């Protein structure tokens, strides 16, 4: 006789995981049930001990500063063939040029900044991405109408 599926763990009445009991022996189902309940208890206990700030910071990805990225890229240059996308010092120079222009002319559109700095489109995009990731420049808006400010 087949039993209905039983939840291995539930939180607030929501079913997190369910396995057909006929597929496994009762011993395995009971063991997995105990493991899942202990896991949920441990996670809830850890969250109760942590501050809200710790919980929110744990979910944020680590941002690598542009100088750290350049240093690691320059260290790797001797280990592999030169990149087809340019050397790291040129990227750093492009990032610095973008930041300097945006500091002098805040709120400019990306195309205006690119033309003023004198970068090709294929050099502009990675340099701008690194400037935004390193939080040297902030972007307001999406795609073409985006405006840039120095931070």
Higher model confidence: residue 135 or residue 87? 135
Q: Is residue 1 part of a domain?
A: no
Predicted local distance difference test score (pLDDT) of residue 37: 93
**pLDDT given for residue 28 in this prediction:** 83
- Comparing 12-21, 46-55, 89-98, 112-121, which segment has the lowest mean pLDDT? 12-21
What does the block give as tokens for 134?
């390193």
- Judged against a pLDDT cut of 90, whether residue 93 lies above it is answered with no
- Provide the pLDDT confidence category of residue 62 given band limits of 50, 70 and 90: low
Is the distance from CB of 102 to CB of 119 less than 8 angstroms?
no
- Give the contacts of 146 (CB within 8 A, at least 6 positions apart): 109, 110, 139, 140
Question: Is the domain of 46 the same as that of 96?
Answer: no
Nearest Cα residue to 89 out of 115, 69, 104: 69
Q: Are residues 89 and 28 in the same domain?
A: no
Whether residue 131 contacts residue 124, with contact meaning beta carbons closer than 8 Å, is answered with no
Sheet containing 137-140, strands listed edge to edge, beginning at the edge strand earlier in sequence: 108-109, 147-150, 137-140
3-state secondary structure of 151: coil
pTM of the model: 0.44
Domain CATH number, residue 136: 1.10.10.10
Q: CA angle, 26 as apex, 22 and 29 as ends, to 5°? A: 90
Query: Does residue 140 share a domain with residue 116?
Result: yes
Same domain, 11 and 49: yes
pLDDT greater at residue 44 or residue 25 = 44
Q: Supply the pLDDT for residue 82.
A: 55
DSSP string covering 11-29, please? ETTEEEEEE-GGGS-HHHH
Domain count, the chain: 2
Q: Within this chain, do residues 12 and 50 fall inside the same structural domain, yes or no? A: yes
* pLDDT for 125: 84
Q: What is the pLDDT of residue 2?
A: 46
What are the start-end ranges of the H helices in the chain?
Answer: 26-49, 52-58, 66-77, 88-104, 110-117, 121-133
Q: Does the pLDDT at position 1 exceed 50?
A: no
Tell me the per-residue pLDDT of 34-58, one tens digit each, with 9 for 90 and over: 999 999 998 888 878 877 777 677 6
Same domain for 70 and 34: no
Domain ranges, residue 97: 66-150
């Amino acid at each position: 006789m087949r039993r209905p599926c039983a939840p291995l763990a539930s939180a607030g009445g929501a079913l997190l995981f369910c396995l057909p009991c006929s597929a496994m022996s009762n011993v395995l189902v009971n063991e997995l049930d105990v493991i899942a309940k202990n896991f949920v208890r441990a996670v809830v206990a850890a969250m109760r001990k942590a501050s809200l700030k710790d919980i929110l910071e744990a979910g944020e990805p680590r941002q690598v500063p542009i100088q750290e990225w350049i240093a690691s890229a320059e260290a790797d240059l001797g280990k592999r063939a030169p990149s087809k996308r340019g050397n790291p010092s040129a990227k750093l120079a492009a990032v610095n040029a973008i930041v300097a222009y945006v500091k002098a002319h805040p709120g400019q559109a990306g195309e205006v900044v690119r033309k003023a700095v004198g970068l090709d489109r294929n050099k502009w995009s990675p340099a701008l991405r690194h400037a935004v990731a390193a939080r040297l420049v902030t972007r307001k808006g999406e795609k073409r109408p985006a405006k840039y400010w120095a931070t």
